[in-house]
């Protein structure tokens, strides 16, 4: 008699997947509503060439059969022993008896590595959406006509490293294309050349090196950028409403907000379909509270809409995105006048990856928003401390910017400003963590955030 196994995954999933596997124990009797038996399905799955090769490598692997939604079977092979690991997974159509999907390796546990169409953001991944956005992002900054470096000099095209920066930002699309087709072995390494280039450029600029002699020029009327920004904002919001999905990140925000409203511990004891959703800082959940209050959440599964379609997650993603755009406008306006403000707002609206996160309804724009606000209040040491702490308690990585925010701009800060920054930063961390402390939830907080992420491995990183 085989031991009973349960299918577990460590993947980022979309909320709208109702096809939870149900273990079938009767081998020779079809389950209600199905035509095939579990034994027949296992033989069909084992005949797949990829599975034959996998079973040659793991001859002691143990198969289990599951129904997976209407008319579909799943057969999984696990390693023997008390700590079973899922080695292979096959989907079989009940009506035709044909194999529809075969997965081995890391694509067994990581469904997001399989390249399901539209799993992240849906229609935004279509070439007829993505490529035009890439063109719109870079086109206003391309030197379509020659300019004079000096009044008496020859005409030339004003290319600079800033154009390479824009191309590097768009170059990440190559990695995404392979990711969307499930070719993770290529998509993951392709991230790093562009990321390393951008990191080096930012570090050099931070130390005052590599700065072009002239700022990035706009080769179209600013009024066109204003009109383009308005159009793009409408397009982005509309696409979010009519053709987007909520992945587990946005779902986690709604669950966390619901816990806050009901005075429940934020960390630990999360729903099974988002068991690792408590991996973010508490501010990431507090930010969803207004949207949970306004749009609600029943906590019940709807076969047609998933978790109520999670309107609270949609609304939060839209608001975070729009506030970031407006923040960039005011930041640019403060630095170099309204033209730069329009340019920054347009660049945010046209950049396809910001739309990708928007239509996946994640909390990423919340981090961007808080960092933009930190730049807006950069002249105030206490304000920098407050916003820097809030940003760090979303996804923790912004804590790395705490020393930079302590430094501020201009001459080195006076001791009084340093003290004010540290006090504001510390008090904000304490206040934000207060619900965690009051619920005696600190151990679960550490286990499910820092410790979980530090010990987590995935195919989307080279280490």
- Return d(Cα 168, Cα 61) in angstroms, integer: 45
Vertex 120 angle, CA 228 and 104, to 5°: 150
Name all domains of the chain by residue range, CATH numbers in brackets. 22-113 (3.10.450)
- Return d(Cα 403, Cα 384) in angstroms, integer: 11
- Burial of 193 per CB tally in 10 Å (0-12, 13-18, 19+): middle
Residue 3 has pLDDT above 80, yes or no: no
Long-range contacts of 405-413 (CB under 8 A, 24+ apart): 405/374, 405/378, 408/378, 408/379, 408/381, 408/384, 409/378, 409/379, 413/381
Lowest mean pLDDT among 38-42, 222-226, 268-272, 369-373: 268-272
- Return d(Cα 328, Cα 343) in angstroms, integer: 9
Q: What digits encode the pLDDT tens for the residues 394-418?
A: 999 999 999 999 999 988 999 999 9
Q: Which pair of tokens denotes residue 392?
A: 């760090």
Q: Residue 461: what pLDDT?
A: 86
CA nearest to 381, candidates 327, 422, 432? 422
- Return d(Cα 421, Cα 340) in angstroms, integer: 29
Q: Residue 264: what pLDDT?
A: 96
Report the 10 Å Cβ neighbour count for 334.
Answer: 14
Residue 419 has pLDDT above 90, yes or no: yes
Q: How many alpha carbons lie under 13 Å from residue 108 in its C-beta half-sphere?
A: 17
- Return d(Cα 182, Cα 107) in angstroms, integer: 9
Q: Is the Cα dihedral 97, 75, 270, 361 positive or negative?
A: negative
Q: What digits encode the pLDDT tens for the residues 189-217?
A: 999 999 999 999 999 988 888 887 777 88
- Return d(Cα 15, Cα 20) in angstroms, integer: 12
Report the 10 Å Cβ neighbour count for 234.
Answer: 11
Helix (H, G, I), strand (E, B), or coil: what is residue 129? helix
Residue 123 has pLDDT above 90, yes or no: yes
How many residues are there in the chain?
Answer: 463
Q: Residue 456: what pLDDT?
A: 84
| Average pLDDT over all residues of the chain | 91
- Return d(Cα 211, Cα 232) in angstroms, integer: 30
Residue 155 has pLDDT above 70, yes or no: no
Q: What digits encode the pLDDT tens for the residues 5-54?
A: 555 443 344 444 457 899 999 999 999 999 999 999 999 999 999 999 99
Q: Are 361 and 314 in contact (CB under 8 A)?
A: yes
Helix (H, G, I), strand (E, B), or coil: what is residue 92? strand
pTM equals 0.89
């Amino acid at each position: 008699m085989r031991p009973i196994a349960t299918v577990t995954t460590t993947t980022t999933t979309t909320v709208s997947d109702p096809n939870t596997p149900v273990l079938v124990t009767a081998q020779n009797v079809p389950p209600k509503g199905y035509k095939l038996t579990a034994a027949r399905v296992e033989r069909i799955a084992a005949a797949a060439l990829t599975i034959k090769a996998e079973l040659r490598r793991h001859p002691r692997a143990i198969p289990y059969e599951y129904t997976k939604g209407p008319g579909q079977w799943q057969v999984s092979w696990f390693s023997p022993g008390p700590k079973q690991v899922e080695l292979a997974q096959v989907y079989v159509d009940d009506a035709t008896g044909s194999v529809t999907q075969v997965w081995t390796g890391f694509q067994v546990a990581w469904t997001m590595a399989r390249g399901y169409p539209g799993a992240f953001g849906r229609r935004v991944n279509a070439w007829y959406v993505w490529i035009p956005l890439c063109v719109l992002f870079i086109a206003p900054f391309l030197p379509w006509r020659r300019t004079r470096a000096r009044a008496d000099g020859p005409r030339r095209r004003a290319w600079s490293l800033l154009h390479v920066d824009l191309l590097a930002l768009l170059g990440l699309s190559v990695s995404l294309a392979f990711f969307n087709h499930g070719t993770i072995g290529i998509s993951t390494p392709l991230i790093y050349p562009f990321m390393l280039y951008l990191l080096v450029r930012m570090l050099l600029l931070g130390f005052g090196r590599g700065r072009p002699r002239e700022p990035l020029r706009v080769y179209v009327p600013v009024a066109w950028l204003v009109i383009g920004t308005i159009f793009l904002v409408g397009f982005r919001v509309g696409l979010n409403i009519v053709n987007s999905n909520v992945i587990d990140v946005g779902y986690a925000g709604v669950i966390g907000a619901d816990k806050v409203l009901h005075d429940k511990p934020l960390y630990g004891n999360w729903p099974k379909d988002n068991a690792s959703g408590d991996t973010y800082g508490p501010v990431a959940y507090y930010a969803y509270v207004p949207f949970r209050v306004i749009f609600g959440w029943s906590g019940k599964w709807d076969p047609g809409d998933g978790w109520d379609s999670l309107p609270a997650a949609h609304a939060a993603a839209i608001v975070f995105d729009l506030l970031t755009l407006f923040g960039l406008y005011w930041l640019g306006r403060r630095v170099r006048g309204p033209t730069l403000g329009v340019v920054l707002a347009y660049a945010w609206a046209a950049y396809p990856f910001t739309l990708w996160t928007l239509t996946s309804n994640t909390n990423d724009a919340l981090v961007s928003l808080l960092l933009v606000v930190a730049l807006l209040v950069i002249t105030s040491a206490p304000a920098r401390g407050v916003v820097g702490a809030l940003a760090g308690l979303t996804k923790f990585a912004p804590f790395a910017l705490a020393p930079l925010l302590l430094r501020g701009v201009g001459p080195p800060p006076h001791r009084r400003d340093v003290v004010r920054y540290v006090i504001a930063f510390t008090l904000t961390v304490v206040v934000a963590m207060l619900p965690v402390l009051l619920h005696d939830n600190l151990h679960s907080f550490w286990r499910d955030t820092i410790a979980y992420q530090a010990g987590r491995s995935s195919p989307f990183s080279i280490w």
